[in-house]
């Protein structure tokens, strides 16, 4: 269940257009509508027969209590009626189950329609919403001496901040070992980010499990959509989390909030494990694409009318981190075909890395509206005693560490080979400079 059946019926035109905008087949919407009609037909027939059977069973009980022989003819007739109904119910329910599973399969293929203010198109339609900070050049002249900014892996080697070869030895490629000040930098960043998000942004800190069960992986859509993304522990039927979004959003699976409990806003650190299948050979140098990295993730549960504004605020809170670190970045509004299947609106934040001369994605902030919430049955009561409605969920990185570390190293490297520590990190690093 992803798109709601009620919305499918009442808002089918918009859902159809939403599928087209995201490059999906709109015919699925019509197929789903047909199956929905069939389902309702079967359900009505089955329910009617079940009511008959329940009545017959009740009459058997009453007759026996009134003194009829449990095996007498009067009771036997009633039993027969109930048995006959049961046989028909079995047939109808089998067909119903088949119809529902076919319908569910179709619904899973209908994407969440994008918000009206999202540009329609592919990657080329993405919009740069804003840019912050000065883009440092790779080559520069300071104090009359020309020098070239190096990629982070060279800096790391000199300053012994991480070790990819040994990581490959003990685990495999893409599992960096952070060492010395590099290790401390990891701790410092996690600490700083969580401090800002809790003390200044009012979020509640969460330290979630790094393994989740199948139900949780299904809740956020990792199963079945992105199963190849995750490391699996088959012996225990568990999955290593690709992001804290999975455990943290699932915190409130199958729950109903009172209106005054919302919004709920979490900031959670977790390690993230990604197989990156299909990305082999891409970004093989340094720590731009790794199988294990660390991330502070923000996860919000909002009232529907507040979610659009919440996405802007959420994105801004991720930007705060980059501003404190003094890293240049830009914010992209993702176009319909580049934003993903389940998002209604998404901003990517990319940091400038002058050593590799590239924009690096360090955050992705999304509003899912009720799409995820439906899957996980996360609801709230708009008014006391009223009917529950789905909440809106949002999440965004604040921030992913590995690429942020790369940007810090490339931005703060000095001509003498040392690394300046961004002012905001100095209390956490207990130093203002990292040297060999």
Partner RNA sequence: GGAGAGGUCGCCUAGUGGCCUAGGGCGCCGCACUGGAAAUGCGGUAUGGGGCAACCCAUCGAGGGUUCAAAUCCCUCCCUCUCCGCCA
Contacting positions for RNA (CB under 7 A)? 4-6, 40, 43-44, 46-48, 50-51, 53-58, 60-62, 64-65, 70, 78-79, 82-83, 86, 256, 379, 381, 384-385, 387-388
Helix axes 180-195, 401-412, angle to 10 degrees: 110
* Residue 305: CB atoms within 10 Å: 9
Q: Pick the closer one to RNA by CB: 49 or 344.
A: 49
Tell the smallest beta-carbon distance from residue 397 to RNA (Å). Answer: 28
Pick 73 or 385: Cβ nearer RNA: 385
CA distances for 210 relative to 6, 162, 207, 232, 245, angstroms: 36, 23, 9, 12, 11
Helices (H), 160-298: 164-170, 180-195, 214-219, 245-250
Minimum distance of RNA from residue 256's CB (angstroms): 6
Closest CA relative to residue 208, chosen from 263, 236, 250: 250
Radius of gyration for the chain, computed over Cα atoms and rounded to the nearest angstrom: 28
Which of helix, strand or coil describes residue 102?
Answer: helix
Residue closer to RNA, measured from CB, 51 or 128 = 51
Asked if residue 152 lies in contact with residue 356, where contact means CB atoms within 8 angstroms, the answer is yes
Q: What is the nearest approach in angstroms of RNA to the Cβ of residue 122?
A: 35
How many CB atoms are closer than 10 A to CB 169? Answer: 12
- Rounded to a whole number of angstroms, the minimum distance from the CB of residue 114 to RNA is 24
Whole-number minimum distance, CB 44 to RNA, in Å?
Answer: 4
The partner residues of 359 in beta bridges, in order of sequence, read: 352
Nearer to RNA, 200 or 237 (CB): 237
Rounded-to-integer distance, Cα 34 and Cα 113, Å: 20
Least Å distance, CB 402 to RNA, is 26
For the beta sheet containing 389-390, the strands, ordered from the edge strand earlier in sequence to the opposite edge, are 256-258, 379-381, 389-390
b/e string for 121-160 if b means 16 or more Cβ within 10 A?
A: eeeeebeeeeeebeebeeeeeeeeeebebbbbbbbbeebe
Tell the smallest beta-carbon distance from residue 187 to RNA (Å).
18
Rounded to whole angstroms, the Cα distance separating 149 from 409 reads 10
- 19: Cβ contacts below 8 Å, ≥ 6 apart: 25, 26, 28, 29, 110, 111, 113
Closest approach of RNA to the CB of residue 218, in Å? 14
Q: Which is nearer to RNA, 44 or 427 (CB)?
A: 44
The least CB distance from residue 227 to RNA, in Å, is: 21
């Amino acid at each position: 269940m992803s798109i709601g059946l009620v919305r499918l019926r009442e808002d089918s035109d918009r859902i159809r257009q939403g599928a087209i905008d995201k490059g999906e087949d709109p015919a699925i919407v019509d197929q789903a509508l047909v199956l929905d009609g069939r389902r309702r037909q079967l359900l009505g027939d089955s329910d009617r027969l079940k009511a008959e059977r329940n009545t017959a069973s009740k009459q058997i009980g009453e007759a026996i209590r009134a003194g009829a022989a449990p095996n007498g003819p009067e009771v036997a007739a009633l039993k027969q009626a109930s048995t006959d109904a049961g046989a028909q119910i079995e047939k109808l329910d089998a067909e119903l189950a088949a119809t529902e599973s076919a319908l569910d399969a179709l619904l899973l293929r209908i994407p969440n329609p994008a918000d009206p203010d999202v540009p329609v198109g592919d990657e080329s339609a993405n919009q740069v919403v804003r840019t912050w900070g000065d883009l440092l050049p790779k080559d520069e002249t300071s104090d009359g001496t020309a020098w070239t900014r190096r990629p982070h892996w060279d800096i790391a080697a000199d300053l012994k901040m991480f070790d990819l070869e040994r990581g490959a030895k003990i685990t495999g490629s893409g599992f960096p070992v952070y060492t010395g000040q590099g290790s401390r930098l990891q701790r410092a960043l996690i600490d700083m980010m969580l401090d800002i998000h809790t003390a200044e942004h009012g979020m509640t800190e969460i330290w979630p499990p790094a393994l989740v069960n199948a139900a949780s992986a299904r809740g956020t859509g990792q199963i079945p959509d992105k199963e190849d993304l995750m490391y699996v522990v088959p012996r225990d039927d568990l999955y290593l989390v690709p992001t804290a979004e999975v455990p943290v959003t699932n915190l409130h699976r199958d729950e109903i909030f009172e209106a005054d409990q919302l919004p709920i806003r979490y900031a959670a650190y977790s390690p993230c494990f990604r197989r990156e299948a299909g990305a082999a050979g891409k970004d093989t140098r340094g720590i731009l694409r790794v199988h294990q990295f660390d991330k502070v993730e923000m996860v919000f549960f909002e009232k529907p009318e507040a979610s659009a504004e919440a996405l802007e605020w959420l994105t801004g809170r991720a930007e705060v981190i980059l501003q404190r670190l003094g890293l240049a970045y830009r914010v992209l509004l993702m176009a319909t075909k580049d934003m993903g299947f389940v998002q209604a609106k998404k901003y990517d934040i990319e940091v400038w890395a002058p050593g590799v001369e590239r924009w690096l994605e360090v955050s992705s902030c999304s509003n899912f509206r009720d799409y995820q919430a439906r899957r996980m049955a996360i609801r709230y009561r708009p008014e006391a005693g009223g009917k529950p409605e789905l909440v809106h969920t949002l999440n965004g990185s604040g921030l992913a560490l590995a690429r942020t570390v790369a940007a810090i190293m490339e931005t703060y490297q000095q001509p003498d080979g040392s690394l300046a520590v961004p002012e905001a990190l100095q209390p956490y690093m207990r130093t203002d400079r990292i040297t060999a």
